[in-house]
Amino acid sequence: MCSDKTFWLNTFILFVLLSNTEVSLAADFNPVAPAPSADVVDANTKANLMTAISRANLSPAAKNIQVIPDDGTLILRGVVKDDRERQTISTLAEQNGCTNIKNELKVQAVPKRQVASKRTGSKKPLIITRSR
- The string of pLDDT tens digits covering residues 40-59 is 556 788 888 889 999 989 88
Q: Whole-angstrom Cα distance, residue 127 to residue 10?
A: 100
Q: Whole-angstrom Cα distance, residue 121 to residue 117?
A: 5
Provide the residue ranges of all domains of the chain, joining segments of one domain with +. Answer: 38-107
Question: 44-102 pLDDT, tens per residue?
Answer: 888 888 899 999 898 888 889 999 888 878 899 999 999 999 999 999 999 988 888 89
The answer as to CATH 3.40.50.1820 being correct for domain 38-107 is no
The DSSP 8-state label assigned to residue 110 in this structure reads: P
Q: Whole-angstrom Cα distance, residue 33 to residue 27?
A: 16
* pTM for the full predicted model: 0.55
Residues 6 or more apart in contact with residue 12 via CB below 8 angstroms:
none
